[in-house]
Amino acid sequence: SAVISQKPSRDICQRGTSLTIQCQVDSQVTMMFWYRQQPGQSLTLIATANQGSEATYESGFVIDKFPISRPNLTFSTLTVSNMSPEDSSIYLCSAGSGRASHNEQFFGPGTRLTVL
């Protein structure tokens, strides 16, 4: 199994600012993902963080709003840009243990973001 940490665990931000969330895995993993969970909703995949190349974004999410970095096999960042109250959510990083699948996908503790 993989142990995943995220920073910050929570933050309260002003409208129009940006926040970068860090995700650190204790072992090298092939797949890393970023999810959003808005209040009362289930998890929605934002993007797959690809090591050494641009992230793959899901429908409804764009790089300008959610730039992602993945400089190596254990670390990734997600930035929420030009925030609005609608971005208030829990953001979760996850890592897949399988080479090309999610077999047992492990989640970080999440970052609770509140935008005023």
Partner 1 sequence: EDKVVQSPLSLVVHEGDTVTLNCSYEVTNFRSLLWYKQEKKAPTFLFMLTSSGIEKKSGRLSSILDKKELFSILNITATQTGDSAVYLCAVEARDGAGSYQLTFGKGTKLSVIP
Token output for 16:
């129009």
Asked if residue 103 binds partner 1 (CB under 8 A), the reply is yes
Q: Give the x/- contact pattern for partner 1 in 34-73, rule: CB under 8 A.
A: -------xxxxx--x-------x-----------------
Asked if residue 90 binds partner 1 (CB under 8 A), the reply is yes
Stretch that binds partner 1, among 20-28, 63-71, 74-82, 98-106 (CB under 8 A): 98-106
Report the alpha-carbon distance of residue 61 to residue 2 in Å, rounded.
Answer: 27
Residue 42 CB contacts under 8 Å (≥ 6 apart), including other chains: none
CB of 17 to partner 1, least distance (A): 22
Asked if residue 13 binds partner 1 (CB under 8 A), the reply is no
User: What is the secondary structure of 76-91 as a DSSP string?
Assistant: EEEEE-S--GGG-EEE
* Cβ burial, residue 45 (10 Å; 0-12/13-18/19+): middle
CB of 16 to partner 1, least distance (A): 25
